[in-house]
Structure 1
Amino acid sequence: MSDVILLSGGIESSTLLHMQPRQNQLLPVFIDYGQRAGAEEYRAALHQCKLLGLTLKKLDMAQTGHDFREGQSKKLHVPLPHRNLIALSLGLSYATQIGAGRILLALNLEDTQYYPSASSAFIDSFQAMANVLGNIEIATPLSSTSKAQIIQQGIALGVDYAHTYSCLLGYPLHCGHCPQCLHRREAFSQAGEQEPVGFYRA
């Protein structure tokens, strides 16, 4: 039985990708939902897949994201509210189509505490719905692990975090100041690790 893994090109999903046993049939999926950093996220996810000899499947919802932004006075970097709901729904449909038995979602401990669509209550509810539709498991192996701990695990596995992407703004170099960049920098500091010189614009 194969596993679908939802990739964003970030620290958590890249680490989870490298954690999977090589004998498992792994099917990486990237969802473009019109996020501002979509091109850089895809490039990072593709890089990690190529390192492992895996083919990355891209599901294109970019127009949906653009449609959600219409009429907004301030265009959000992440246009879809409750994006894990969208990602898991697409992942479940795709997994059903190809006969996969499990969907891997890379949530960290902080995610589960701050985002309703990453909470254990949401994941349990989505699993219950998935059980009505079939027997696909929703797995979140990193949900009890902090971002700093995930970085430490990834470094032990040889993950090259210079080829991951976290910034909300979508520049080739991370801005260093958006919420995602600040969380990333803090996590590396807590992990006792340093990123390459020049990784951030400022």
Structure 2
Amino acid sequence: MKTTVVCSGGLDSISLAYITAAKHELTRLVSFDYGQRHRKEVDFAIRAAEQLGVPHHLFDLRPIGAALTGSALTDDIDVPDGHYAEDTMRITVVPNRNAIMLTIAFGLAAANNEDAVATAVHGGDHFIYPDCRPAFTEAFDRMQAAALDGYAKVKLHTPFVNATKADIVTLGALHNTPFEQTWSCYKGGDIHCGRCGTCVERREAFHLAGVSDPTVYADPDFWCEAIERRKQA
């Protein structure tokens, strides 16, 4: 199955790239610059493409991202600390982001006679992000079948859609994903902050998976406090 992987440079999408390279025919990695707070992740996606021996495509969506206001990922709004499943993390939603990115990836895949576009949406995203839920991915797949009817047959591949982040770490480890060469932190400092939702979720996932976490965090113990606070909410 010839497959394009949408790759942000994060733990999930780079794990997906390595798994896809092992199980299918990885053709390319696709990333997007939508004016996010930092582009640090993209450098990791470029490195992954080089290591996997496939092309990397970076699409400039900054004019579109500038219009999708109100998110801590694109505007001058503080990224909240805490667990990913807290209501405060809703400020990180960029409206319709996945639908826009996947539409472009599908066009690219169709133009190159590929079979699938893979994206690393997972079960931990469901609480906050509507365009990561099965209802969205299934509907999007049907929509693209109609959009490309008679021209190409490209499927949406979402192997993690009902998986946990810990599941992804487990699978990524089995396929030799270089976790130290992935980036999760929304704050984009020199090292992972350890406090934002993506850092907390990342740290927790390694713990639950029983896999050694190679990540250096500015606040390596905050995740325990965040998880305890979530339990008491």
> Shared topology, TM-score over 0.5?
yes
Match of 2:45 in 1: 45
Q: Does the 8 A contact of 1:68 with 1:79 survive in 2?
A: no
Counterpart of 2:147 (choices 121, 133, 138) is 133
Q: Does the 8 A contact of 1:10 with 1:41 survive in 2?
A: yes
Classify 1:12/1:25 alpha carbon distance in 2 versus 1 (closer, same or farther; 3 Å): closer
Deviation of 1:112 after TM superposition, in Å, equals 3.5
Q: Does the 8 A contact of 2:2 with 2:26 survive in 1?
A: yes
Match of 2:37 in 1: 36
Deviation of 1:66 after TM superposition, in Å, equals 2.9
The number of aligned residues is 198
Q: Hey, what's the Cα distance between the residues in 1 that align with 2:105 and 2:65? A: 17
Q: Hey, what's the Cα distance between the residues in 1 that align with 2:176 and 2:21? A: 15
Classify 1:196/1:21 alpha carbon distance in 2 versus 1 (closer, same or farther; 3 Å): closer
Q: Does the 8 A contact of 1:104 with 1:138 survive in 2?
A: yes
Question: Aligned partner of 2:2: which letter?
Answer: S
Classify 1:137/1:160 alpha carbon distance in 2 versus 1 (closer, same or farther; 3 Å): same
Identity %: 28
**Correspondences of 1:79-94 after superposition (within 5 Å):** 80-94=94-108
Q: Hey, what's the Cα distance between the residues in 1 that align with 2:43 and 2:169? A: 20
Of 97-106 and 26-35, the range deviating more from structure 2: 97-106
Query: RMSD of the TM alignment (CA)?
Result: 2.2
Deviation of 1:201 after TM superposition, in Å, equals 2.0
Match of 2:18 in 1: 18
Question: Aligned partner of 1:31: which letter?
Answer: F
Q: Hey, what's the Cα distance between the residues in 2 that align with 1:7 and 1:53? A: 14
Deviation of 1:41 after TM superposition, in Å, equals 0.7
Deviation of 1:68 after TM superposition, in Å, equals 3.4
Q: Does the 8 A contact of 1:40 with 1:172 survive in 2?
A: no
Deviation of 1:170 after TM superposition, in Å, equals 1.6
Question: Aligned partner of 1:45: which letter?
Answer: A
Question: Aligned partner of 2:182: which letter?
Answer: T
Runs of 5+ unmatched residues, structure 2: 80-91, 220-233
Match of 1:124 in 2: 138
Classify 1:123/1:79 alpha carbon distance in 2 versus 1 (closer, same or farther; 3 Å): closer
Q: Does the 8 A contact of 1:174 with 1:181 survive in 2?
A: yes
Q: Does the 8 A contact of 1:35 with 1:79 survive in 2?
A: no
Q: Hey, what's the Cα distance between the residues in 1 that align with 2:198 and 2:26? A: 31
Q: Does the 8 A contact of 2:9 with 2:43 survive in 1?
A: yes
Classify 1:51/1:119 alpha carbon distance in 2 versus 1 (closer, same or farther; 3 Å): same
Q: Does the 8 A contact of 2:9 with 2:182 survive in 1?
A: yes
Match of 2:174 in 1: 156
Match of 1:59 in 2: 59
Classify 1:7/1:25 alpha carbon distance in 2 versus 1 (closer, same or farther; 3 Å): closer
Runs of 5+ unmatched residues, structure 1: none
Question: Aligned partner of 1:89: which letter?
Answer: T
Q: Hey, what's the Cα distance between the residues in 2 that align with 1:104 and 1:25? A: 10
Question: Aligned partner of 1:176: which letter?
Answer: G
Classify 1:121/1:67 alpha carbon distance in 2 versus 1 (closer, same or farther; 3 Å): closer
Match of 2:217 in 1: 200
Q: Hey, what's the Cα distance between the residues in 2 that align with 1:172 and 1:61? A: 25
